Homo-oligomer: A and B are copies of this chain.
């Protein structure tokens, strides 16, 4: 950490800052600038987490240099991690695909979707049993019944199951049925939930918050890992911007950024990321070309009858077309050794 003093900070101010730094067991070095003094802090910055340096008299600003997350950081873990989800590897160089309806609506709908998903070559079936919805009057999901259908669809197809958990109370139930637990965008900083999924023993898919910075996202993963669960996969799903044509703005540069900052895998959800089924194909291709470790996509046997997120769901035909391109692209990049990211 570097502490920048005001041009008019007194010697007394600087002494107090030094005392605060040393009081936390760290070393301080003062450097004289042209118009301002700077205090460099040497040692483990997390010790200063509870000292409000910025509020001290004479301090203009403090600049964090080292990261506040460690377990999620590539700095402390240079090799890319591969997360094993019931035998399927995420992060090993071959992208995985998670597909299915936004919400589980009925056994028939789910089985039909699962068959389509399986046939085109995905590894995971997605589908929400607990749905976080903006309005309390919107469809909230089939809850445990939905989980049962998901488990039956796994029996039927061999697909792994990834589904969202929205409350601490439901973690055990979801972990009982699912292969991977999803923490949704609205819960990315629900720290109580993060701590508990950190103890559940199942891999976690951590979606980026609606307007989360990369730093907050990495720290959210740190909460899960710090609670004992090292198996975290990031999922970029678009961020909130001023643009209204798309539902969110898909931030594909997050793929490159996360791969640089962390050893954990990252997949991309172009369905939520754009909110328009027509844009899923180009963004799915782009995600693969950017080096994503996988995709999550919404497919519905009949999008126009979907109980949620119909406009962004692919029809079975569109989905097969996307999969055809995605698979060819992934194989091509591997064979030609086209590496998007030099870490």
Interface residues in chain A, defined as those with a beta carbon under 8 Å from any beta carbon in chain B: 2, 4, 7, 16, 20, 29, 31-36, 38, 40-46, 49-50, 52-57, 60, 63, 65-66, 68-69, 75, 132-139, 166-169, 186-187, 189-193, 209-211, 213-216, 219, 222-223, 226, 239-246, 249-253, 255-257, 260, 273-274, 277-279, 281-283, 285-291, 303-313, 325, 328-329, 332-333, 336, 338-342
Contacts of A303 in B (CB 8 A): 52, 55
Query: Beyond A52-B306, A249-B249, A251-B243, is A219–B36 a contact (Cβ under 8 Å)?
Result: no
CA distance A323 to B29 in the complex (A): 40
Contact between chains at B213 and A245 (CB < 8 Å): yes
Task: Name the CB-closest residue of B to A6.
Answer: B75
Q: Are A36 and B56 in contact (CB under 8 A)?
A: no
In angstroms, how far is the closest chain B Cβ from the Cβ of A69?
7
Name the B residues within 8 Å of A290 (CB-CB).
Answer: 282-283, 285-286, 289
Q: Are B210 and A211 in contact (CB under 8 A)?
A: yes
Residues on B with beta carbons closer than 8 Å to the beta carbon of A50: 138-139, 307-308
Q: A49-B139, A52-B309, A285-B289 are in contact. Are A242 and B240 (CB under 8 A)?
A: yes
Of the candidates B239, B243, B250, the one whose C-beta lies within 8 Å of that of A243 is B239
Distance between Cα atoms of A159 and B69 in the complex (Å):
39
- Beta-carbon contact of B304 and A56 below 8 Å: yes
The smallest beta-carbon distance between A248 and chain B, in angstroms, is 9
